[in-house]
Structures are given as structure tokens and as C-alpha cells.
Structure 1
Amino acid sequence: MIHLCVHLSREAIFAGPVQYQWMYAFERYIHILKGYVRNKARPEGSIAEGYIDNEALTFCSMYFNEGETKFNKPEWNYDGPIKATQDGNIFVFKQKVRGIRVAINDVLNLKDLKKARWYVLNNCDEVQPYVRQYMDELERQGLRNVQEMLESEFHTWFLKYVSAIKF
């Protein structure tokens, strides 16, 4: 493989940027075509039949309304429409969630748990006014590390604040 480095510079000069000589897309498609082979005595005919079958099924599936095809299949991690809440509950806690992989029961350490809580609360649009309110309180106290305090202590302040509010 060291000898390959000798020729790489010359190949780059001759062929130009790597995207013009990159064969990955073709190799990938050849792999798909090889998957169509059913009769090893006549691979070309099998590939042609498989390609025609795939094209015909793809064309027909564009017009099927019932059943799941690659044109009307929901996205892999789509959980359905998100419904707005009118009962005063925070939007992020009303979403349906479906795991992508097998669940792993693991205990987070306190540092990771605080980061997870901060991430969820910080990315919820309904909580942003409370984040600003808590940030203003910290700035009024004259603290220097407002962002660190916000990330580490906001979830406890928010829990106390929301528990005190009567909905």
C-alpha cells in the first residue's frame, strides 16, 4: 500500500478531483444488479428480468392508494401528527415516542441526567420564556457563570416554579 502513495499524486493530476473518478455509486448499483441473478447459467438474462420487474413494480406502486409502497410509506421515525395541547401541559411532554432500537435499561449518573434535562427543556419552545426569566434572576444576582448555572440548576428552579403555579 505504500507504493500506492507514489501513484496517487499522478492520478490526481490526470483525473482531477476524486469525485470525477469515484466508482462507489457504480459499485453499489452493480451490487444491486447482482442481487437479481437467479440463474447462474444465464446471469445477464436474470439481471435484465430483475431490472424490468423492479421498474414495473415501481411504476405500478405509484398508483396504489391502499397498502404500503415506497412512495407512501411513512418515514422510519415518524410518530404521527403532533397535537397541540389546550390543557396547560407542556407540549414536549405530550408527544408520542417510539424507540428506534431495543430499550436498554441503564442508570444515568447525575451529570448526564442534568444534561438530558437541560437539553429537553432548552429545546422546548414553551419553556423559553422561563429560561429567560431564570437567566434574568441570575444576572440580577451578579453571577459570572450564568450559562453554567442555567444548565445545571434550571431544571430544579423550573420544577419549583411550575409546582407553585395553579393552572
Structure 2
Amino acid sequence: MQQLMPIGLRGLLPDDITAVIFELSAYFRGICSKVLHVNELDHMEKSIGITPCKMEMIFPPGFFTVMVHLVVHLATECKLGGPVNYRWMYFIERYLGKLKSYVRNKAYPEASIANSFLADECMVFCSRYIEGFATKHNKPSRNDDSLDHTQSKMVGQDSSLFPSVGKSLGKPANFELSHLEKLQAHRYVLYNCDVVNPYLKEHASNLKRKRRDRRLTPKDIEQIHNKEFLEWFRQHILHLEEKNGSDSINEDIRWLARGPLEFARRHRAYNICGFRFRAKRILDIIEIDYYGRFSVR
């Protein structure tokens, strides 16, 4: 009512009706603020008396109950009791609704609530010492993103650059990457890895050293990076391996220099960070493997 109602009613009703509802929403938004000022409360206390009068010209008489009249006294209550967020009753009413759902025999509601509450407490206590069974304390969430046993075997050894996060849904579909898609994926990964930044700076310094006759702008360097960096990075890593041995180069760097595989997996949905992301029919969630080890999601 405070935030969404003005947005939802905008343009749906005549201006004279929406103006009154907006005044009421602004009044509730003011008294529900985290910080309250007495002078502002005095102003709202005076102005709220006119809002019900305007509502009487719009709504039928049956709409006006004692709850509508209670709105007039809310600003005065805020001056006496302080901010509203310290006096919310929503969670208490929600818990009372839960206790009310325990009632099975309406002739003895208190006994039904007591027996159901005791049974729930016993089940909670026992579930803390039971392993291997799904209870309400250890059951996975609706959008479970933890890897199961079969997926952990398929993923294999985790990489420090691309750790296994999230959980794919459904059977993946394999497809072949085009040359442009493979180039764009490889370029995107290299430009967004911190371990590749020193090599980007080294390549930029080499360009400036070779082309001393021309002053290169950052835009020129970026264009040359897009054309030449992938091949230069691969040749540079191979040269370092031949010169210093394969142990001198980090394994992740060597896989990044080689680039992704030509085949990738496409998923229809993916759970990550407690949320489920569903892709459109064309723009599916693509998982690209770097020689069977790295995944770009």
C-alpha cells in the first residue's frame, strides 16, 4: 500500500480518485519511516482529517468502518509510541495463524494446539539426531544449487579460476561452437581473469615498443588486443614452457592459453545463489569447457 499501490493504480483510474489514494499511501509511508520528526507528524495529523472526507465522496458508505477511522489517530500514536517498525504485529499475527492451523477438533481448540505443538517440538528434537533422512531442518531448498554426488564426479577437480558453483537442471544438450562464438568466449574469459592482467599489460608494452613511430591511444591498443592477443598469449605461454619448463607456468594459465573446446553444453535452467534462472528458447544457458576442466557460465 505504501510503495506498490501508487505505481499499480497510475493511469488506471481517474486523477481525482488516484490523488486521494496517493495521499493515503503517502500518509502511511510517512508514519512507517525509520526516523520520525514531531513537526512532520503534526502536519500529517492535520492533513489526514481531510483525506477521509475526500474518500466519502468516492466510496460507498459501507466502506467506512472503524478501521478506516483508525487511520486518523495513527500519527498521534506515533508521537506517543515512537517508530512503527518497533511495534509491528505482523510476525505475532503470523504465528497466531500458525497455531490456529493446529486446531483439528473445534470442540477443544486449546488441547489441539497443545498436542500439535508438543508433537512438533518432539519431531524437531528427534530430527537433530537423525542422519540420512530429509527433515524440515535439512531438506534442500526449492532452488537447490548444491552439487550432488553424480555431478561432483562429472565436474572432477575444481579449478581456482572457475570453481564449480550452481546446479544445472535437466539433461544438457551438446552443440558445436562456431569460430566466432569460440573466439568471443575465449576473449571474454581472458579479459575478465585477474591472472591474465599481467600478460595484457606486457602485450600492451610490446606494442608500444614496436610502434614507436606512432603514438597508440587506449582505443588503438584495445583494437589490437582483440585481433592479436589470443594468438600472442598462446605463443607466449608455449615459449615460456620451452624455456623454463612446464612446471614454471601455472596450470590454469596453460589451459587458458589453449582456449575452449569446440563443443559446449546448453542448459534450459540453472540454480545458483538460491535463485533459478530459466533461459529463453534461443538464449540458453551455455556451459563451455576448457579442455574438460573449466566452465564459463
Q: TM-score range by the shorter chain?
A: 0.5 to 0.7
Check if 1:13 corresponds to 2:88: no
Q: Indicate how the Cα distance of structure 1 residues 143 and 6 shifts in structure 2: closer, same or farther if over 3 A, else same.
A: farther
Q: CA deviation at 1:38?
A: 1.8
CA apart distance, 1:159: 5.8
- Check the 8 A contact 2:99/2:113 in 1, yes or no: yes
Mapped partners of 1:52, 1:156: distance in 2: 70
Counterparts of residues 1-167 of structure 1 (less than 5 Å)? 2-3=51-52, 6-73=72-139, 76-79=144-147, 84-85=157-158, 91-92=161-162, 95=164, 97-99=166-168, 122=192, 127-131=193-197, 133-134=199-200, 141-143=216-218, 167=254
Residue 18 of structure 1: CA displacement?
1.5
**Higher Cα Rg, which structure:** 2
CA shift in 2, pair 1:98/1:161, >3 Å: farther
**Secondary structure of 1:57 counterpart:** helix
- TM-score, normalised to structure 2, is 0.36
Counterpart AA for 1:14: L
Question: Does the CA contact (< 8 Å) of 1:118 and 1:155 recur in 2?
Answer: no
Provide closer, same or farther for how the CA distance between residues 78 and 138 of structure 1 changes in structure 2, counting only shifts above 3 A.
same
Aligned residue identity for 1:95: S
Separation (CA, whole Å) in 2 of partners of 1:52 and 1:157 = 71
* Separation of aligned partners in 1, 2:228 and 2:75: 60
TM-score for both structures, normalised by structure 1: 0.56
Q: Which runs of 5 or more residues in structure 1 are unaligned? A: 102-113
Q: Is residue 61–residue 69 contact of structure 1 (8 Å, CA) maintained in 2?
A: yes
Shift of 1:60: 1.0
CA distance in 2 between counterparts of 1:41 and 1:157 reads 82
- Check conservation: 1:79, 1:97, Cα contact below 8 A: yes
Of Structure 1 and Structure 2, the greater strand share is in: 2
Structure 1 residues 84 and 59: alpha-carbon distance in aligned structure 2, compared to 1, 3 A threshold? same
Shift in alpha-carbon separation, 1:142–1:73, aligned structure 2, 3 A:
same
3-state SS of 2:107 partner: coil
Structure-2 change in CA distance of 1:56 and 1:128 (3 Å):
same
- Residue by residue over 1:25-83, the C-alpha shift from the partner in whole angstroms, topping out at 9 and shown as x without a partner, is 11221222122122233322222211111011001111112312344445632226796
Amino acid corresponding to residue 147 of structure 2 in structure 1:
D
Structure with the larger RCO, 1 or 2 (CA within 8 Å, 6+ apart): 2
CA contact (8 A) 1:130 1:158 kept: no
> How has the CA–CA distance of structure 1 residues 10 and 99 changed in structure 2, closer, same or farther, with 3 Å as cutoff?
farther
Maintained 8 Å contact 1:77/1:100: no
Q: Write the distance in 1 (CA, Å) between the matches of 2:110 and 2:78.
A: 35
The sequence identity of aligned pairs, in percent, is 31
Unaligned runs of 5+ in 2: 1-23, 25-50, 53-69, 171-183, 209-215, 239-253, 255-297
In 1, the alpha carbon distance for the partners of 2:83 and 2:164 equals 46
CA distance in 1, matches of 2:139, 2:226: 38
- State the number of aligned residues: 142
- Structure-2 residue corresponding to 1:109: none
